């Protein structure tokens, strides 16, 4: 029971992070391998502000805002100029960005682990002697839930959401209809990076703490979650995140934590071999 709640809590974080990957993939056909490093960078900014001001929430807000800015800057300054003739180009540039960000963080903050503070107790409530979930887990569920709902509303109910979807699917047609496609791309990157930052702020206190490479392992799990869900499906990425979280939790609980990363990789391989389009993707949605 505890493993289930623990898995769902981790899964919620992977879901958010996977969702951020899917947002960028859908808009640009780039898997943003730099997302982990970007999230760590904004988390450093957030925790620095928290340490300086003593207010966790101010730091939290700074981290999310830094995510928005970093995402927009990354798109405007770097990703915009990636040549799309080969899908590998975006990957290579993103990986380069990882090295730059992680190297930069190491130079500024050092590469030792720092503790990352949690805003709520991580002690689990117990019901009838069985540990269930902590206040922090509840916070994670609430934060991810709110973000998922807000994004869903943005994309389905607002003009901007419609513009963003159109710009991603058919850039030329959208421009002919007066949509500022390049602005929508920047907005998409900003939102995705902010969601990534949120995931970072939610996962760093539970995992290893703050470190330039801290999100690498989270990235692997979340990327798996996104692939499991089908890279094109936002709902799929959320479900994929929960599946990966549960898998990790059960495997760590019953077989040991060292086996868990292997289980994730096995899941990734199995999905790629069995259903490369993801478990929740509709087949051949785009026919022209």
Partner 1 sequence: MTALLRTESLTAGYGAAPVLHEVDLDVNTGSITAVLGANGAGKTTLLRTLSGLLPATHGRVLLDGKDLRGVRVEEMVRRGVAHVPEGRGVVTELTVDENLRLGGLWRKDRADVRKAMTEVYELFEPLARRRKFPGHQLSGGERQLLALGRALVGRPRLLLLDEPSLGLAPKITAQIMTLLGTLRDRSGLTVLLVEQNVRGALAIADEAVVLALGRVVTRGTDIDDEMRHAYLGF
Report yes or no: 11 and 242 within 8 Å, Cβ to Cβ.
yes
Q: Which C-beta is closer to partner 1: that of 139 or that of 155?
A: 155
Give the number of residues in contact with partner 1, rule: CB under 8 A: 21
Q: Does 177 bind partner 1 (CB under 8 A)?
A: yes
3-state SS record for 100-158: HHHHHHHHHHCCCCECCCCCCCCCEEEECCEEEEEHHHHHHHHHHHHHHHHHHHHHHHC
Q: Is 210 helix (H, G, I), strand (E, B) or coil?
A: strand
Q: Does 166 bind partner 1 (CB under 8 A)?
A: yes
Shortest Å distance, C-beta 167 to partner 1: 10
Shortest Å distance, C-beta 239 to partner 1: 20
Q: Which C-beta is closer to partner 1: that of 37 or that of 167?
A: 167
Q: Which stretch binds partner 1 (CB under 8 A): 45-53, 143-151, 170-178, 235-243?
A: 170-178
Q: Which of residues 130-159 bind partner 1 (CB under 8 A)?
A: 159
Cα–Cα dist 18/226, whole Å? 5
Alpha helices in the chain (DSSP H): 2-28, 35-53, 56-73, 87-109, 135-157, 159-169, 171-176, 181-203, 216-229, 234-255, 260-274
Q: Which C-beta is closer to partner 1: that of 221 or that of 233?
A: 233
Applying CB under 8 A, which of residues 49, 181, 195, 238 lies at the interface with partner 1?
181
Neighbour count for residue 115 (Cβ, 10 Å) = 11
Q: Does 237 bind partner 1 (CB under 8 A)?
A: no
Which residues of this protein are in contact with partner 1, per CB under 8 A? 159, 162-163, 165-166, 169-170, 172-181, 285-288
């Amino acid at each position: 029971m505890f493993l289930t709640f623990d898995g769902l809590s981790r899964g919620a974080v992977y879901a958010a992070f996977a969702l951020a990957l899917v947002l960028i993939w859908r808009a640009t056909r780039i898997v943003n391998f730099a997302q982990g490093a970007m999230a760590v960078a904004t988390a450093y900014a957030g925790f620095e502000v928290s340490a300086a001001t003593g207010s966790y929430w101010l730091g939290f807000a700074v981290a999310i805002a830094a995510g928005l800015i970093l995402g927009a800057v990354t798109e405007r300054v770097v990703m915009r100029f990636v040549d799309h003739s080969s899908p590998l180009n975006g990957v290579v540039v993103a990986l380069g960005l990882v090295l730059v960000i992680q190297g930069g963080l190491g130079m500024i903050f050092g590469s030792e682990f720092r503790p990352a503070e949690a805003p709520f107790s991580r002690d689990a409530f117990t019901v009838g002697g069985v540990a269930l979930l902590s206040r922090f887990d509840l916070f994670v569920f609430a934060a991810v839930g709110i973000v998922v709902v807000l994004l869903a509303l943005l994309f389905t109910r607002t003009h901007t959401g419609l513009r963003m979807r159109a710009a991603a699917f058919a850039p030329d047609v959208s421009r002919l209809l007066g949509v500022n496609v390049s602005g929508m791309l920047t907005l998409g990157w900003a939102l995705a990076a902010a969601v990534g930052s949120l995931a970072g702020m939610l996962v760093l206190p539970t995992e290893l703490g703050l470190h330039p490479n801290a999100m690498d392992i989270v990235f692997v799990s979340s990327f798996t979650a996104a692939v499991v869900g089908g890279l094109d499906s936002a709902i799929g990425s959320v479900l994929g995140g929960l599946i990966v979280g549960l898998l990790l939790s059960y495997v760590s609980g019953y077989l040991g934590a060292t086996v868990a990363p292997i289980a994730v990789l096995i899941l990734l391989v199995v999905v790629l071999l069995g259903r490369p389009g993801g478990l929740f993707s509709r087949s051949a949605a785009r026919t022209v």
